[in-house]
Amino acid sequence: MTPTPDPQPDRPYRILVVCTGNICRSPMAEVVLRERLGESGLAERVEVASAGTSNEEEGNPIDRRARAVLAENGYPVPHHRAHQVAPGELAHYDLALAMTRQHARALHRRAELDDSRRSAEIRLWREFDPASAGAPDLDVPDPWWGGIEGFHDTLAVVESGADGVVDYLREVLARA
């Protein structure tokens, strides 16, 4: 595991949330995490963005079902255009939160290819979810292939992990 970078006092702590196409899980998690950061008073100290490991959805908006589920649950749905993690992009983040082990492996490969002195710490979203403690599978389920109920399930998993991410950030930022 990449060591946790020390917070940089001259800029916000930066998080990149990553899934496959950047139209379902990662933008949902980005929205939820931003809301939780606002509620916790950390919004000014943390920036959140999202990306995909694939370019198959490049430029597309958030999935209509993800948009509907977020709105139904009171979350703002921002303008969003999917993009793939670009060469060198991980060097601009402190933490990359992967939705699955496969995404984490792709991010580690990207970091190796970038051959940079600095890269984001790469972790799984569900590592921060207390309900996942001891679970053999820490992957956030992909709702894309199913119906709207899968998006509700994914939102529940994302929400469950978001508070743990915020708690982690409090600890990291306390070192700044």
Domains of the chain: 13-174 (3.40.50.2300)
Contact of 22 with 83, CB cutoff 8 Å: yes
Please report how the helices 64-72 and 148-174 are oriented relative to each other, as an axis angle in degrees rounded to 10.
70
Residue 8: per-residue pLDDT: 62
Q: What is the mean pLDDT of residues 23-48?
A: 98
On the CB side of 69, CA atoms within 13 Å amount to 26
Residue 115: per-residue pLDDT: 75
- Catalytic residues, which ones? 19, 25, 142
Residue 2: per-residue pLDDT: 40
Whole-number Cα distances in Å, 54 to 51, 85, 126, 175: 9, 8, 21, 34
Q: What is the tens place of the pLDDT at every residue in 93-148? A: 999 999 999 999 999 999 998 876 778 999 999 999 999 988 999 999 999 999 99
pTM equals: 0.93
Tokens 């051959």 -> residue: 115
